[in-house]
């Protein structure tokens, strides 16, 4: 029962995320697969369960469409059936759209009543309605099968011109003595701001993901290692799915490998800046000879231009120590009486250290985006 409830929660999150994309980007609604995964990840859901929720939560997509679209949501444009908080629909925008098209119906008849969407939006803006609100109203009314849109021209679905407008629906509720307080929609309240941030990342120059391990995959392209994105994503996926209680050694090894990989990928860029960080002559040789110990210590060099501060360096050093249990010779030397068991909390710390180091790298790249010369 608990698993069923959790999966239903995931479905509701995905459905709400796609709904919120309409409020925030009404002329291009929908989210890419990785954007939906990002929303789920920020709310604590794993990739597999989010993907499983898509068939129940997303609408059908056209061939070649890269975005998941909201489902047709019957009665989405109605205001007299339910009250929720928050509600990102603007009744004034719905009212304006309906009244303009009703006026056209009265003038030329229902069959010929239509209006160019851009003209309708411009008229609404001129009357004081926010552009995004009226665009959202039109998109919602189309998804609700209240309007038809073809080649940028909108019209009523036959018979819908007789439906009450948003203001008339709200008046019906008031006159009927409806006094219920809006029900709190906690999922929508959480998801809206996350989707807003995810959409903003499309154009504001930030990594598409707020999660450091995911974001570094995008950074590899500008570092000149875009062809290693698959390798990086596979390693991150294995780390994410490993169980701390069942696979503590695997987690420590994968975490160390990601730290070593992330620092390796930034060496060329850092040396090109000429700031002292990653300036060791060690890195003039073949990368196969580079060691994680040297990468960490050199990343902490360069004073104000260092990639790692002292706290991050010490955590990385602890991670290296834990990772060394895979080297039998080193264990014989350092633990002649036998090495202590690796506890689950050490695995969690290893994973946290990988996230911390990669976050420091991303922060440093934002401060130093371009190599000299």
- Per-residue pLDDT tens over the stretch 103-120: 999 999 988 999 999 999
Q: How confident is the model at residue 338 (pLDDT cuts 50, 70, 90)?
A: low
Which residues on adjacent β-strands are paired with residue 32?
A: 67
% of the chain surpassing 70 pLDDT: 87
- Per-residue pLDDT tens over the stretch 285-298: 899 899 999 999 99
* Interval 142-162 mean pLDDT: 91
pLDDT of residue 371: 54
Cis peptide before 346 (omega within 30 of 0): no
Taking the CA of residue 23 as centre, how many other CA atoms within 13 Å lie in the half-sphere pointing to its CB? 21
Cβ atoms of residues 267 and 278 within 8 Å? yes
Q: How confident is the model at residue 331 (pLDDT cuts 50, 70, 90)?
A: low
Q: Where are the alpha helices (DSSP H) in the chain?
A: 2-24, 33-42, 47-57, 91-108, 117-126, 131-143, 166-175, 186-200, 212-222, 229-241, 248-273, 292-299, 310-323, 328-334, 344-367
Q: For the whole model, what pTM was predicted?
A: 0.65
* Interval 196-212 mean pLDDT: 79
Sign of the alpha-carbon dihedral angle for 238, 240, 246, 247 = positive
Q: Which residue has the higher pLDDT, 187 or 178?
A: 187
Mean pLDDT is lowest, of 47-61, 214-228, 284-298, for: 47-61
Q: Which residue has the higher pLDDT, 91 or 207?
A: 91
Report all structural domains of the chain as residue ranges with CATH numbers, in order of start: 2-68 (no CATH), 88-181 (1.10.10), 207-367 (1.20.120)
Mean pLDDT is lowest, of 94-98, 241-245, 339-343, for: 339-343
pLDDT of residue 101: 95
- Residues contacting 360, CB < 8 A, separation 6+: 307, 308, 309, 312
pLDDT of residue 341: 59
* Interval 30-47 mean pLDDT: 87
| Residue in the structure block whose two tokens are 């976050």 | 359
| Residue in the structure block whose two tokens are 């990653």 | 278
Cβ atoms of residues 14 and 36 within 8 Å? yes
pLDDT of residue 72: 75
């Amino acid at each position: 029962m608990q698993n069923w409830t959790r999966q239903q929660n995931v479905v509701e999150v995905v459905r709400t995320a796609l709904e919120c994309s309409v409020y925030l980007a009404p002329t291009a609604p929908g989210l890419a697969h990785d954007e939906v995964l990002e929303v789920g990840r920020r709310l604590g859901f794993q990739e597999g369960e989010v993907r499983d929720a898509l068939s129940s939560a997303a609408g059908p997509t056209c061939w070649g469409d890269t975005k998941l679209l909201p489902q047709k949501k019957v009665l989405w444009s109605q205001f007299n059936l339910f009250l929720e908080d928050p509600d990102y629909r603007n009744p004034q925008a719905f009212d304006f759209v309906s009244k303009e098209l009703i006026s056209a119906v009265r003038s030329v008849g229902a069959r010929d009543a239509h209006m160019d969407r851009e003209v309708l939006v411009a008229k609404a803006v001129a009357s004081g309605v926010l552009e995004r609100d009226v665009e959202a109203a039109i998109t919602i009314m189309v998804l609700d099968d209240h309007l038809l849109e073809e080649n940028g021209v909108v019209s009523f679905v036959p018979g819908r011109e007789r439906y009450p407008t948003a203001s008339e629906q709200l008046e019906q509720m008031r006159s009927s003595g409806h006094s219920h307080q809006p029900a709190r929609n906690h999922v929508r309240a959480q998801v809206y701001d996350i989707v807003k941030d995810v959409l903003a990342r499309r154009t504001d120059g930030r990594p598409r993901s707020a999660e450091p391990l995911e974001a570094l995959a995008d950074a590899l392209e500008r570092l000149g290692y875009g062809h290693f994105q698959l390798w990086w994503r596979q390693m991150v996926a294995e780390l994410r799915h490993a169980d701390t209680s069942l696979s503590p050694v695997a987690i420590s090894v994968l975490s160390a490998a990601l730290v070593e990989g992330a620092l390796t990928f930034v060496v060329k860029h850092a040396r090109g800046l000429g700031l002292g960080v990653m300036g060791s002559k060690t890195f003039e040789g073949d990368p196969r000879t580079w060691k994680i110990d040297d990468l960490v210590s050199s990343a902490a060099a360069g004073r104000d231009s260092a990639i790692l501060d002292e706290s991050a360096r010490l955590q990385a050093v602890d991670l290296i120590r834990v990772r060394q249990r895979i080297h039998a010779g080193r264990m014989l030397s350092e633990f002649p009486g036998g090495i202590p068991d690796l506890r689950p909390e050490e695995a969690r710390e290893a994973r946290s250290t990988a996230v911390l180091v990669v976050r420091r790298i991303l922060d440093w790249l934002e401060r130093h985006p371009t190599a000299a010369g």
